[in-house]
Structure 1
Amino acid sequence: MSATGTRKVLVTGGGTGIGRAVAETLLRAGGQVVVTGRRADVLEALARDWPGKAFALPCDLASPEAREGLLRRAAGLLGGLDGFVHSAGQVVHQPPGHIGEDALRAQLEINLVAPLRLGEQALEVLEPGGAQVFVASTLATRPIVTSAVYSAAKAGLLQVMKVLALAGAARGVRASAVLPGVVETDMVREVRLSPGEGPLPEPEYARRQEAQLAGLRALHPLGRLGRPEDVGEAVRYLLAASWLTGTELVLDGGLLLRE
């Protein structure tokens, strides 16, 4: 039998990238999942692949009105809820002096405010012994010059997680976070343009993309980028570990060992 925390789980950002890998990891282990996010098409595709096991619940997580009651709606689809994973995220690389107001607000909302509000819901909805896991980033502890807003939001998320761990302890509702290094997803493959730089022609975009990925791989002593499945397995472990709460699990191929 699957461990409590992994049986009936809501996964945000569950249609693509890390979120989808988390959902599929849980499904392969015998769990049921509700996947949520803005893109109904990719959520419904996953549900079709896992009939009766995966359910799509589209939601604009950046909207306070849309996410109100989200965990109760997910629990209604599954007949209860013992796990919650916040994987949805947004990063816009901009150096100081070039940080757009819209990008600032959007990153804070999806990376910090939304998981806080959903985590508050989880304290009320999750079954005793259940767990919530937040996908953070090594950029929360070691920022780069273009990550001020994203790093600040993810660092704040780690403190939110610890408060939720304390608040949920009386009911045995655990909270933890995973801090991945660079994981090869569509978000990471997007070429980072310099301030004022316009769209690149396709051959130049492809060249810059490969150079960017090669540089990112070189940051990791193990010699490769993370795979979404690596994070999926780590999240499943955190959901299932019944004597673990308030923990930050670094999963980075040795990235933080670098000076």
Structure 2
Amino acid sequence: MNRFEGKTVLVTGGNSGIGLTTAQAFAAEGARVVITGRDEASLAAARATLGADALAIRNDAGSIAAARDLARQLGAQDIKLDALFINAGIARFAPLSDIEETLWDQTFNTNVKGPFFQIQTLTPLFNQGASIVLNGSINAHIGMPASSVYAASKAALISLAKTLSAELLPRGVRVNVVSPGPVSTPIYGKLGLDDETLANTAAQIKSQIPLGRFGTPNEIAATVLHLASSESGFIVGTEIVIDGGMSQL
């Protein structure tokens, strides 16, 4: 399939995990892919897997100035976007008693404020019929202990899909959300947990998934590409949960 032949796609946080897998899936179907991330080395490595015309741009997903600069860089190269996957985000878990303002601010800046203003600054660059997919989370729905700030940030992002859809539809731009459950990605190694605690946490989470396993980045990417393509043209302001049945218990 070449659903994205001749199209340009931007994936934020496209240098690892779900973002990189999704960027590679877009490239495999003919898209010119632009990825962002904060780490220069992983950006360069990711770009090498995406084709000769791929772009990798260092960008801080939580910064309004960086959002504006990204739009400026793309506009200066006369790049128009057919799809945008807002994937960059952070997950910091802590019990209520341990949460400090810095954790709140960092989480909401990266997961909500940055994406909002990135979409705002990129709006003039969207082609007619473009699609935006936001990466949410089932944590917005299941009330997992120690996830209050992260869950609240993802709930805000999911809500944005409905209001942004209403505002952007006159421009021919659809907005939807994928909300993954537990997925095997490097993000679990960034939670600040020691190896034993991380292993115990993973086992405890796995026991709550009816399918009995974590999801894979490829499974998330497949749904993102569906929502970004014209075949989903009647899906607007919708959240698709991809969690192996975890949130249905």
Tell me which stretches of 4 or more aligned residues in structure 1 moved more than 3 Å.
Answer: 1-6, 74-79, 189-193
Give the direction of change, closer, same or farther, for the CA distance of 1:81–1:19 in structure 2 (3 Å limit). Answer: same
Write out per-residue CA displacement over residues 18-40 of structure 1, whole angstroms, 9 at most, x where no aligned residue.
Answer: 11111011111111110001112
1:36 match: secondary structure: strand
How big is the shift at 1:118?
Answer: 1.2
Give the direction of change, closer, same or farther, for the CA distance of 1:135–1:176 in structure 2 (3 Å limit). Answer: same
Is this contact kept in 1: 2:134–2:177, CA < 8 A? yes
1:84 match: secondary structure: strand
CA distance in 2, matches of 1:239, 1:6: 14
Runs of 5+ consecutive residues of structure 2 not aligned to the other structure: none
Give the direction of change, closer, same or farther, for the CA distance of 1:166–1:5 in structure 2 (3 Å limit). Answer: farther
Aligned to 2:162: 162
Range with bigger deviation, 29-38 or 118-127 = 118-127
Aligned to 1:214: 203
Q: Give the TM-score taking structure 2 as reference length.
A: 0.92
Matches within 5 A, 1:189-204: 189-190=189-190, 193=193, 200=194
CA distance in 1, matches of 2:40, 2:64: 19
Aligned to 1:30: 30
Is this contact kept in 2: 1:39–1:58, CA < 8 A? yes
1:61 match: secondary structure: coil
Counterpart of 1:255 in structure 2: which amino acid?
Answer: M
Q: Percent of pairs identical after alignment?
A: 30
Aligned to 2:92: 92
Aligned to 2:53: 53
Q: Does residue 252 of the first structure (1) align with residue 232 of the second (2)?
A: no
How big is the shift at 1:127?
Answer: 0.3
Write out per-residue CA displacement over residues 215-241 of structure 1, whole angstroms, 9 at most, x where no aligned residue.
Answer: 221111011101111111110011112
CA RMSD of aligned residues (A): 2.0
How big is the shift at 1:171?
Answer: 1.8
Aligned length: 247
How big is the shift at 1:3?
Answer: 4.1
2:236 match: secondary structure: coil
2:212 match: secondary structure: coil
Aligned to 2:224: 235
CA distance in 1, matches of 2:19, 2:112: 17
Counterpart of 2:225 in structure 1: which amino acid?
Answer: R
Give the direction of change, closer, same or farther, for the CA distance of 1:127–1:86 in structure 2 (3 Å limit). Answer: same
Is this contact kept in 1: 2:35–2:56, CA < 8 A? yes
CA distance in 2, matches of 1:60, 1:39: 10
Counterpart of 1:128 in structure 2: which amino acid?
Answer: Q
Give the direction of change, closer, same or farther, for the CA distance of 1:125–1:14 in structure 2 (3 Å limit). Answer: same
Runs of 5+ consecutive residues of structure 1 not aligned to the other structure: 194-199
Give the direction of change, closer, same or farther, for the CA distance of 1:111–1:253 in structure 2 (3 Å limit). Answer: same
Aligned to 1:197: none
Aligned to 1:196: none
Is this contact kept in 2: 1:11–1:19, CA < 8 A? yes
CA distance in 1, matches of 2:181, 2:172: 29
Aligned to 1:18: 18
CA distance in 2, matches of 1:163, 1:124: 18
Is this contact kept in 2: 1:184–1:228, CA < 8 A? yes
Q: Give the TM-score taking structure 1 as reference length.
A: 0.88
How big is the shift at 1:211?
Answer: 2.3
